[in-house]
Amino acid sequence: MARLSSLLSFSLALLIFLHGSTAQQFPNECQLDQLNALEPSHVLKAEAGRIEVWDHHAPQLRCSGVSFVRYIIESKGLYLPSFFSTAKLSFVAKGEGLMGRVVPGCAETFQDSSVFQPGGGQQSQGQGFRDMHQKVEHIRTGDTIATHPGVAQWFYNDGNQPLVIVSVLDLASHQNQLDRNPRPFYLAGNNPQGQVWIEGREQQPQKNILNGFTPEVLAKAFKIDVRTAQQLQNQQDNRGNIIRVQGPFSVIRPPLRSQRPQEEVNGLEETICSARCTDNLDDPSNADVYKPQLGYISTLNSYDLPILRFLRLSALRGSIRQNAMVLPQWNANANAVLYVTDGEAHVQVVNDNGDRVFDGQVSQGQLLSIPQGFSVVKRATSEQFRWIEFKTNANAQINTLAGRTSVLRGLPLEVISNGYQISLEEARRVKFNTIETTLTHSSGPASYGGPRKADA
């Protein structure tokens, strides 16, 4: 009994210590009195594009436990393979191209027809051996891409316009066993400017991980000569991590999605090697909320893309017309990071203290972090406003303040009347006048008396 008591006392002391050390490390991170529309703080230039990094030390991003990166890859630009220690959710904001992932332990399922002889034997290099590698996918505007920690990923822009990809990194994830700093690990290429967002590394060029080994060790590991091993280290290469491909880019690739049916994988049979990692959110026919005169909203969670169950992330895509409004709402179980892909909107955000911590315009390329529980309303002020939200829960849930499925709709009239000191008739209007669930017009107060159709 005494032993059990001592064990309980030790466990309690350990919990108190861990809670105290965490509180000292991240004190009042989410006590936010003001939010700001954020722009990139660091730009890493490369031969065929650039990488733009937001300051993850900004209070609102620190509260959400995420960092944010934008990749701009020029035509024929190749983003060389790298991986992170965190879960990553990306969105193709513009352009098209190819994406490849290398999942540890998985086979090279994309094979050139010349790799094997008709009888089943593998050909030698002199008999026309070409290549075999892991899965390559076509990507296009609207694609959302889920990536596990430690999975190497590359992109190639085979279009004529820049390929723009934005990514959120879940630094606070249980899968990230390092500190709360975004840390790309480069398999090839380098970053001459260094990881300027990490204190102490501002002036240190970042090299690929092969550079840290001696050439002799690499030569033995890859069964190559020392000179080739030195080439793998990119020591004299200043092209950065987005390089320009000279000549044709020949990889084994499938037909475009429009030329083949969408593959359905049974969730019970799906493995980490075959798991679908992309889904497109730009098709209004698949929207969760759609009103032709206002716009649409599409969500992506672990029910749609099972891999998100492990990443514990989800996404929402919104597109609304001028003067359309997303009814006031809050995220019940997630932080959200909103990135504007097109247009402008007026946004208001209210914190737990009832203070308006943001009241202003957000425009294309800007970022706004919205902590869990903070209420937000969006109203398009340009011809069209489009955005992507990344959320820190595989199945993020929202609650609305106004509308047919809102919290006020669920309250008795007497509670509303007494709580706000208004008459029962006024309470009835507050509760029942807005019959939409998500999108509405913002042109003015609703007219009373006339019948209205609830379609979203």
State the pLDDT at residue 442. 82
State the pLDDT at residue 27. 56
Residue 1 has pLDDT above 60, yes or no: no
What domains, with CATH codes, occur in the chain?
42-115+128-244 (2.60.120.10), 278-441 (2.60.120.10)
Q: Is the dihedral of CA 64, 66, 70, 76 positive or negative?
A: negative
The mean per-residue pLDDT over the stretch 151-180 comes to 94
State the pLDDT at residue 352. 94
Q: What is the 3-state secondary structure (H, E, C) of the chain?
A: CHHHHHHHHHHHHHHHHHHHHHHHHCCCCCCCCCCCCECCCEEEEECCEEEEECCCCCHHHHHHCEEEEEEEECCCEEEEEEECCCCEEEEEEECEEEEEEECCCCCCCEECCCCECCCCCECCHHHCCCCEECCEEEEECCEEEEECCCCEEEEECCCCCCEEEEEEEECCCCCCCCCCCCCCEECCCEECCCCCCCCCCCCCCEECHHHHCCHHHHHHHHCCCHHHHHHHCCCCCCCCCEEECCCCCCCCCCCCHHHCCCCCCCCCCCCCCCCCCEEECCCHHHCCEEECCCEEEEEECCCCCCCHHHHCCEEEEEEEECCEEEEEEEECCCCEEEEEEECEEEEEEECCCCCEEEEEEEECCCEEEECCCCEEEEEECCCEEEEEEEECCCCCCEEECCCCCCCCCCCCHHHHHHHHCCCHHHHHHHHHCCCCCCEEECCCCCCCCCCCCCCC
Q: In sequence order, what are the beta bridge partners of 79?
A: 155, 242
The mean per-residue pLDDT over the stretch 275-290 comes to 92
pLDDT digits (tens, 9 = 90+) for 19-47: 443 333 455 678 888 999 999 999 999 99
The mean per-residue pLDDT over the stretch 239-251 comes to 89
State the pLDDT at residue 408. 93
Residue 353 has pLDDT above 80, yes or no: yes
pLDDT digits (tens, 9 = 90+) for 106-117: 766 666 655 444
The mean per-residue pLDDT over the stretch 8-17 comes to 49
State the pLDDT at residue 448. 37
The mean per-residue pLDDT over the stretch 89-97 comes to 97
State the pLDDT at residue 276. 87
State the pLDDT at residue 305. 94
State the pLDDT at residue 193. 79
Contact 390, 308 (CB under 8 A): no
312 vs 335: CA distance, rounded Å: 12
State the pLDDT at residue 377. 97
Average confidence score pLDDT of the chain: 84
Confidence of residue 249 (pLDDT cuts 50, 70, 90): confident
State the pLDDT at residue 449. 35
- Of the chain, the percentage scoring pLDDT greater than 90 comes to 63
State the pLDDT at residue 21. 38
pLDDT digits (tens, 9 = 90+) for 385-428: 999 999 999 999 999 999 999 999 999 999 999 999 999 999 99
- Of the chain, the percentage scoring pLDDT greater than 70 comes to 80
Among the ranges given (109-118, 276-285, 331-340, 352-361), the one the predictor scored with the smallest mean pLDDT: 109-118
Residue 189 has pLDDT above 90, yes or no: no
